[in-house]
A and B are shown apart, each in its own frame.
Chain A
Amino acid sequence: MRLRTFAAAAVCALAATTVMADKRAADTSPAEDLKTYRDYFQKRFPGVPLNEFGNGVYAIDNVSRDSWNAVEEFPPYEPMIEAGQAIWDARFANGKRLGSCFGGDPAQRGNFPYWDAKRKMVVTLPLAINECLESNGEPPLPYRKGRIADLLAFMSYRSRGQKINVEIPDDPDAIAAYNAGKSFYFARRGQLNFSCAHCHFESAGMNVRTDVLSPALGHTSGWPVYRSKWGELGTLHRRFAGCNRRVRAKPFAAQGTEYRNLEYFLSHVSNGIEYNGPSARK
């Protein structure tokens, strides 16, 4: 009984804040948002160069930075890069390889996510990988961890140094997708009623118990991530789901519309920061 009333209350709260956030979302342009994010975080953490924000919490938390640096010297994700290369090199049943969908070049990070005007949707790298597999008669890979994370580790490794450079074309549908991602970011969610922004914008640098909260700026750069807590690699959308669960909200599907739009928004505000995945995190 308690659960049911709670669900009703949560839906009402969500509806109300979504409307608010929608209003806010349409109020400012993508270019203005990019400037707001950069200015806010650079003022908040003076002296931290823009590119450093690609290192998540370690950009701002000197206490954990040293042990992280030590971990990155012998990175736990190294074997996964090799496993990913093997997947990249393997032949499909039809004789072709993954590279046939990507001009033969695994360094694709900087080309995603992008707006596909024909299909009216945001296309992310993991989505493009699975579409490639399926169009070649191969089974798609589950999106949260495992083989796709290995493959992304290899492709991201080869893409290191490319910059996040997401374009939001002047197309009402693209802007609507961007605004949907932005509304998602600012919408309160779950029994605990937090938005992403409450933790990673307003409270960046503060402590939730012993966790220091990372800034939203640069949040999409370091993926996939090897987390000691997971004991394995995970994808960006796996993390989105984890953060939704944290506030006792039901997560959305990895690579569903909600998370792809969220990635579109979150990547754009981080434009100019280098892709540096894969990386290690606590």
Chain B
Amino acid sequence: MRATTKIATTAFSLAALFAGTSMLTGVAGAASDESVAMGKQVAVDRTKGNCLACHMMGDGASPGDIGPPLIAMKARFPDRAKLRAQIWDAQVANPGTRMPPFGKHQALSEAEIDAIVDYLYTL
């Protein structure tokens, strides 16, 4: 069990590192189409992010209204790390939040969360 956690933590710091890199490259060029497409797919999938359960998001059909609409994300979240943190564990920003901690509870992988961020930046 302890070994597992360690691996998970390492994986996480690696992912954080990668997130850092993609942040840098993000300045130079837009995220790859491939990543945006994967992000959208994961965000919509009911067994993955299922963000539409609570958020209006792009052209997604029959969204819920428990969370705010995900629009103008670049303007509203210029800090990529902050947007990523909201998805990784929304309870940090708001302890009473209804949004699931997708990263912390490993409902999504680190790579999936990065891809979702790429997708959100197209909204």
A→B interface (CB under 8 Å): 1-2, 4-6, 8-10, 13, 191-194, 198-199, 202-203, 206-210, 248
Contact = CB atoms under 8 A, between A and B. Distances in A.
Given A203-B66, A209-B53, A209-B63, A5 B98 contact: no
Given A206-B66, A207-B66, 9 more contacts: A1-B4, A2-B8, A9-B105, A191-B105, A192-B107, A193-B91, A198-B98, A203-B66, A209-B64
B52 interface: yes
Contact of B7 (A1, A10, A192): A1
Contacts of B101: 193
A192 B104 CA distance: 10
Contacts of A2: 8, 106
Given A209-B63, A209-B64, A203 B98 contact: yes
A8 B100 contact: no
24 contacts: A1-B4, A1-B8, A2-B106, A4-B1, A5-B4, A5-B106, A6-B105, A6-B106, A8-B5, A9-B106, A13-B105, A191-B100, A192-B105, A192-B107, A193-B91, A193-B105, A198-B98, A202-B98, A206-B65, A206-B66, A207-B65, A207-B66, A208-B64, A208-B66
Given A10-B105, A193-B100, A203-B98, A209 B62 contact: yes
Interface string B71-104: 0000000000000000000010000001011001
Contact of A5 (B8, B54, B65): B8
Give the bracket for the number of chain B residues in contact with chain A. Answer: 20 to 34
A215 to B, nearest CB: 15
Contact of A194 (B62, B65, B98): B98
A51 B5 CA distance: 51
Contacts, number: 56
Contacts of B4: 1, 4-5
B100 A192 contact: yes
Contacts of A4: 1, 4
A262 to B, nearest CB: 20
Interface in B1-41: 1, 4-5, 7-8
B15 to A, nearest CB: 13
B16 to A, nearest CB: 16
Contacts of A198: 98
A198 B101 CA distance: 14
Contacts of B107: 191-192, 248
Contact of A208 (B5, B7, B8, B54): B54
Nearest to A10: B105
Contacts of B91: 193
A193 B89 CA distance: 11
Nearest to A206: B66
A88 B107 CA distance: 47
Contacts of A192: 100, 105, 107
Contacts of B8: 1-2, 5
A9 B1 CA distance: 12
